[in-house]
Structure 1
Amino acid sequence: MKINGSIALVSGGNRGIGEQFVKALLDRGAAKVYAAARDPRKVTVPGAVPLRLDITDPESVRAAAEQAGDVTLLVNNAGITTGASLLDGPREDYRREFDTHVLGTLEMGRAFAPVLARNGGGGILTVLSVLSWATMPGAAAYSAAKSAQWSLTNAWRIALAGQGTQVTGLHVGYVDTDMSAAVDAPKSAPADVVRIALDGFEAGLPEVLADPLSESVKAALALPPAA
C-alpha cells in the first residue's frame, strides 16, 4: 500500500513514536492524518487533524470511526506500560495493560475494518514489541499483553485478507521515548523506527523488525526453549 495520497489515523498521535508517525506520514504525502489522543489539545504537529480517542472506551472508538470515515490507513500505536511484575504486580495493572493493548486493538479493528473495506481495503500497521516474543519477570504484564496483541494482529491479517486490507506488525526494542526513560540500555530514535516501519509497510511486509534486538530475538525463537 502506498502512503502518498492515503488518509491515516494514528492512535496515541500526540507524543513519542505516535507523533513521529504523524509527522512522517504527512512528509510522505498522506492527504490527511488524524492524530488521535485522549486529549486532542496535546496534538501539536502542524497539518495534523486532532481527534479525541480513548481506545479502552468502545464508545470513544466507535465515535472516532464515525468521525474519521475516510481512513485508509490505521496505525495502532497507543500503548502504556505499568511495570507490573510477575509475582507482585497489581491485578489492576494487568487489566489496564490488556484493556489497552489487547481489547483496545480488538475494538479498533472491529470499528475500522468496515471503514477500510468501504475505502478500498487499505491497511493496518500495529506497533508491537520485542517483548511480544521474549519476557522478563519484571515486565510480565506488558510482555503478556504484547504477546496477545501480536496474536491478535496475526488474526486480523487472516480475517481481513478477503477485503484486501494489508496488516503489518512492527516489532521494536527500546525506543528513546518517555515510556522507556527509566531504562538504561541502547535505544532507537523514534524517527528511525518510524522510517523503517513505513518503508516495510509500503513494501507490503507482514512483519517489520526495526532493530537488531528484534532481529536476534526473532531468530532465537527457532532454538530450543532452554537457549
Structure 2
Amino acid sequence: MTSFNGATVLVTGANGGIGAHFVRESLARGAAKVYATARTPRDWDDERIVPLALDVTDADSIRAAVEAAPDVTILINNAGISVSSPGILSHSDEEIRRSVETNFLGPLFLTRAFAPILSAKGGNTAIIDIHSALSWYAVAGIYSATKAALWSATNSLRVELQPAGVQVVGVHVGYVDTAMAMHATDPKLDPAELVEKVLDATEAGQYEVLADDTSVQAKAGLSAPLEAVYPQLAARS
C-alpha cells in the first residue's frame, strides 16, 4: 500500500476536472508536493502545487519532466482525449494517431521514464493509470482500443514493478461529470467521488478500481459470450 502523506505526486492532465481533483485530494491527504502538469499549465493558489509543462506525446517533454521532478513518489496517468464519433472506421488518420499517442503511448512512455526513479525509492511508491469501462466494451472506436491497450500494459507493468515495491493501480470508470462527457445523457460519476475512491484504493493496497456499476458490469461481460455483450451480433446470425 502507498500513503499520500508526505508523498510527491505528479498528475498528468491536471487542468481538467478529474486532474484538478487529483491535485487537491492528494494535498488533502498530506502530500508534500504535487506537480500539476499540462501542455499549458495553469496557475495555482497553493505553494505546494508546482505547475509543470508536459506533453505526454513528446519524448523531449517527457525527459524534461523527469529531470524537473526526480522526487516523484506517485505518478498519476490521468491525461486523455476522446474522439467525436464512435465507429473506428469513421476516424481520420490524425484522430487515430493522436488517440494512440495520448491515451496509450503517452502514459506508457511516461511510466517507463519514471519507473527507475520510483523503483529506486524502495517502496511507498505508486503508479495510477486511468482506464475506462470502455477498455472492456468496444463501442467507442479508437478510444476503446487505446484504453484496452493501456489496461493490458498496466497489467504487465504491475508484474514487472512488483519486485521493486511499486504499486500499480488500474482505474475503470464509465461516464464522469466533466467536459469530456458533456454530450452524454447516461448517469455520470462526480469526479470528486471518483478521485476519493481511487486514492482510498491506493492507500488500501489495491491494484484495481471499478469505480461504478458500469465498470463492474463491463468486467463481468468479459466472461460472457460475445453475442450477449454485443446483441447486434446475435441479430445477424
Give the C-alpha shift of residue 43 in structure 1.
Answer: 4.2
Q: After superposition, where does 1:59-208 map in structure 2 within 5 Å?
A: 59-84=60-85, 85-121=87-123, 122-136=125-139, 139-208=140-209
Change (3 A) 1:45 1:212: farther
Q: Deviations over 1:123-163 (max 9, x none)?
A: 10111100000011xx2010001000111111110111121
Give runs of ≥4 in structure 1 deviating > 4 Å.
none
Q: Deviations over 1:3-49 (max 9, x none)?
A: 11111100011121011000000000011111011111x24353411
Q: Which amino acid aligns with 1:123?
A: A
| Distance of 1:171 and 1:155 partners within structure 2 | 17
Q: Is the 8 A contact 1:101 1:149 kept in 2?
A: yes
* TM-score, normalised by the number of residues in structure 2: 0.91
The structure number with the bigger radius of gyration is 2
* TM-score, normalised by the number of residues in structure 1: 0.95
Give the C-alpha shift of residue 120 in structure 1.
Answer: 2.5
Give the C-alpha shift of residue 73 in structure 1.
Answer: 0.3
| Distance of 1:48 and 1:39 partners within structure 2 | 15
Q: Is the 8 A contact 1:22 1:45 kept in 2?
A: no
Give the C-alpha shift of residue 189 in structure 1.
Answer: 0.5
Alignment-derived partner of residue 44 in structure 1: 44
Gaps of 5+ in 2: 229-237
Give the C-alpha shift of residue 87 in structure 1.
Answer: 2.6
| Distance of 1:197 and 1:175 partners within structure 2 | 13
CA RMSD of aligned residues (A): 1.2
Q: Is the 8 A contact 2:120 2:164 kept in 1?
A: no
| Distance of 2:43 and 2:81 partners within structure 1 | 18
Q: Is the 8 A contact 2:18 2:178 kept in 1?
A: yes
Q: Which amino acid aligns with 1:159?
A: E
Q: Deviations over 1:99-136 (max 9, x none)?
A: 01111012111110011122224110111100000011
Q: Is the 8 A contact 2:62 2:110 kept in 1?
A: yes
Seq. identity, %:
50
Q: Is the 8 A contact 1:173 1:213 kept in 2?
A: yes
| Distance of 1:48 and 1:90 partners within structure 2 | 37
